[in-house]
Amino acid sequence: MSKQQAIGFMDSGVGGLTVVKEALQQLPNESVVYIGDTARNPYGPRPVSQIKAYTWQMTNFLLDQGVKMIVIACNTATSAALAEIKAALPIPVIGVILPGARAAIKATRNQRIGVIGTQATIKSGAYEQAIHRKAQQMTVFSQACPKFVSVVESNEFRSPVAKKVVAEGLQPFAKTGIDTLVMGCTHYPILRPVFQQWLGPDVTLIDSGAETVSQISMLLDYFEIANDQPDTPPMEAFYTTGSPTMFAEIASSWLQLKDLTAQRVDLTQLPQEKR
Amino acid sequence: MSKQQAIGFMDSGVGGLTVVKEALQQLPNESVVYIGDTARNPYGPRPVSQIKAYTWQMTNFLLDQGVKMIVIACNTATSAALAEIKAALPIPVIGVILPGARAAIKATRNQRIGVIGTQATIKSGAYEQAIHRKAQQMTVFSQACPKFVSVVESNEFRSPVAKKVVAEGLQPFAKTGIDTLVMGCTHYPILRPVFQQWLGPDVTLIDSGAETVSQISMLLDYFEIANDQPDTPPMEAFYTTGSPTMFAEIASSWLQLKDLTAQRVDLTQLPQEKR
């Protein structure tokens, strides 16, 4: 295990790039390998067993790239597969749900927290459980917003369609009195301005990805695997199971990296469990 | 290993209580066992081999209390013994230096950071190394302030003596242009108002203890040992090798816990290494 090995990030598509963006800022010495399973996106409506199988395929792909740590930068995959994968691997594996839950508890002033996510994430109850385990007094309102991911993956997040879909999706929160909303899907921060406009300035939006990167930083230190030889410039590599052109377009705009390229890979032949 | 076991904190005296104060606020479900080696305080002027031996004795005492995690809430002991103890034990062990270094890098705007600590901490160069490993561009000014700990341990931190000792100790920073000062000793936050008055409002003081508790919180989650059964009320137990009365007086005033009692213990018969 070398400290210069990359950190592996995975997501059902481009959403995990919101976590990578934070990582590039907070951890400039670290190399990054990213796999987005765009071809099989969205994960949210799929059964848990399938999400778990796909997440293992992404995990095995990242292990083949020799990563030193794995970040499941996808709430759906975290809720379905984090516990199993973390227990099975010798390298650190972290998800996005606990950091988001912790940040929401810290941010709320009226103890009323909203959570939005994919169907699978909301159905799992993972955020609600994580919040209540730490702070029983919180009232949590959860809402699946199945249409948001497609708006982001189809690169329509600046369009009027986005505004309409967000208004419909957030409507259930209108009378809840929440002062904090967890964006419980790593695709959602791309829609952040649209959310904030609909919710007004008094609601704090929690980006679980940004919180996750603080945790990554601490764990790199804890396990003594942070790259402390910054003379070797860090590398970024992006892989997708879908269209590399579309992926690279969204990624280079979101990460503000010029000359970003993505490679297409096939995950379907990889094991759907620990090998 | 039960999630309801306590977190063990150790320090050369009362300084680690600044970390416990944060823990009581941020982690209200967690039980706390504290050992302060007041009788052998200060650690700062002692040789590294001796600090290491004393730190192992505190560690063995905490292990006897059945703690689930050990926090070396003492910069001197962290710089001398964290690496060895962490590598030797099956439970998580964390120190206060890396969290403080991380916070200072985040806080500074002009990249000029001051560090104050005991002779042993400053001589070890631990903060300087930790800061430079993460951010080579920082200029770090380090200064040992051997008199500060005694002012705190003797309960004189509100007296004119404190003001005079602080002015002398911080004098070397007068022309450095630092905008951030790491209080690299857990005793020092008790002197915080005196520091801030001397430094003026534009210098950010970093309390490595507060930063450490955020890391404790994350590691409790990561290792899945946070107490999630808050129905059992958490307990606090305080042990000192010195005067229990004096210890309890400082501790109950600092932690704002009424009816706080401390027990005297003898560490000298415990092994000075892993048993």
Yes or no: say if B95 and B59 are a contact pair by the CB < 8 Å rule.
Answer: no
Interface contact flag, B134 A94, Cβ < 8 Å: no
CA distance linking residue A10 with residue A55, whole number of Å: 8
Count Cβ atoms within 10 A of the Cβ of residue A135 and give its class: 0-12 exposed, 13-18 middle, 19 or more buried.
buried
Same domain, A116 and A198: yes
Same domain, B214 and B201: no
Interface contact flag, B215 A222, Cβ < 8 Å: yes
Of B179, B208, B237, the last residue of a domain is: B208
Of B163, B181, B208, the last residue of a domain is: B208
If you average pLDDT over residues B114-132, what whole number do you get?
Answer: 95
- Check pLDDT > 80 for residue B167: yes
Same domain, B247 and B111: no
Same domain, B177 and B229: no
Instruction: List CB contacts of A173: < 8 A, sequence separation 6 or more.
Output: A114, A141, A143, A181, A199
Q: Is residue B270 part of a domain?
A: no
Neighboring chain A residues of B98 at a CB cutoff of 8 Å? 221
Count Cβ atoms within 10 A of the Cβ of residue B142 and give its class: 0-12 exposed, 13-18 middle, 19 or more buried.
buried
Same domain, B31 and B72: yes
Same domain, B215 and B82: yes
Beta strands in chain B (DSSP E): 7-11, 32-36, 69-72, 93-94, 112-117, 139-144, 180-183, 204-207, 236-240, 262-264
The pLDDT of residue A214 is: 86
User: Counting runs of H as helices and runs of E as strands, what totals does chain A give?
Assistant: 11, 10
Q: Is residue B274 part of a domain?
A: no
Q: Percent of chain B scored above 70 by pLDDT?
A: 99
Given the cut 0.85, state whether the ipTM is greater than it: no
- Check pLDDT > 80 for residue B92: yes
Structural domains of chain B, count: 2
CA distance linking residue B105 with residue B108, whole number of Å: 6
b/e code A227-243 from CB counts within 10 Å (16+ = b): bbeeeeebebebbbbbe
Mean pLDDT is lowest, of A149-163, A223-237, B1-15, B195-209, for: A223-237
Neighboring chain A residues of B230 at a CB cutoff of 8 Å? 136
Beta strands in chain A (DSSP E): 7-11, 32-36, 69-72, 93-94, 112-117, 139-144, 180-183, 204-207, 236-240, 262-264
CA of B99: which chain A residue's CA is closest?
A218
- Check pLDDT > 70 for residue B268: yes
Q: Is residue A273 part of a domain?
A: no
b/e code A2-25 from CB counts within 10 Å (16+ = b): eebbbbbbbbbbbbbbbbbbbbbe
Same domain, A48 and A114: no
A44 labeled binding residue: yes
Q: Which residue has the tokens 């995959």?
A: A77
Supply the CATH number for residue A178's domain: 3.40.50.1860
Q: Is residue A202 part of a domain?
A: yes
Residue of B136, B217, B218 lying closest to A230 (CB–CB) = B136
Q: Is residue A271 part of a domain?
A: no
A9: which strand partners? A34, A71
Yes or no: say if A236 and A97 are a contact pair by the CB < 8 Å rule.
Answer: no
Same domain, B89 and B225: yes
Q: Is residue B170 part of a domain?
A: yes
Interface contact flag, A215 B230, Cβ < 8 Å: no
Give the pLDDT of chain A (275 residues) as one tens digit per residue.
689 999 999 999 999 999 999 999 888 889 999 999 999 999 999 999 999 999 999 999 999 999 999 999 999 999 999 999 999 999 999 999 999 998 898 889 999 999 999 999 999 999 999 999 888 889 999 999 999 999 998 988 889 999 999 999 999 999 999 999 999 999 999 999 999 999 999 999 999 888 899 889 999 999 999 997 767 788 999 999 999 999 999 999 999 998 999 999 999 999 999 99
Same domain, B106 and B183: yes
Nearest by Cα to A112 from A65, A182, A186 = A182
Residue A74 falls in the annotated catalytic set: yes
Same domain, B84 and B102: no
DSSP letter string, A27-46: -TT--EEEEE-GGG---TTS
The pLDDT of residue A134 is: 83
DSSP letter string, B221-268: HHTT-S---TTSPP-EEEEESS-HHHHHHHHHHHHT-TT--EEE---T
How far from B245 is each of B16, B32, B229, B239, B260, CA to CA, in Å?
17, 19, 33, 11, 10
Same domain, B12 and B78: yes
The count of other CB atoms within 10 Å of the CB of residue B154 is: 12
H helix runs in A137-191, sequence order: 148-153, 160-170
Q: Is residue A174 part of a domain?
A: yes
Same domain, B148 and B242: no
Q: Is residue B52 part of a domain?
A: yes
CA distance linking residue B243 with residue B264, whole number of Å: 7
Give the CA count within 13 Å in the CB-facing half-sphere of A165.
18
Could you tell me the residue range of the domain that residue A192 belongs to?
A: 97-208
- Check pLDDT > 90 for residue B158: no
Yes or no: say if A36 and A97 are a contact pair by the CB < 8 Å rule.
Answer: no
Neighboring chain A residues of B133 at a CB cutoff of 8 Å? 226, 228
Q: Which residue has the tokens 């706390």?
A: B32
B143: which strand partners? B116
Nearest by Cα to B197 from B173, B163, B221, B156 = B163
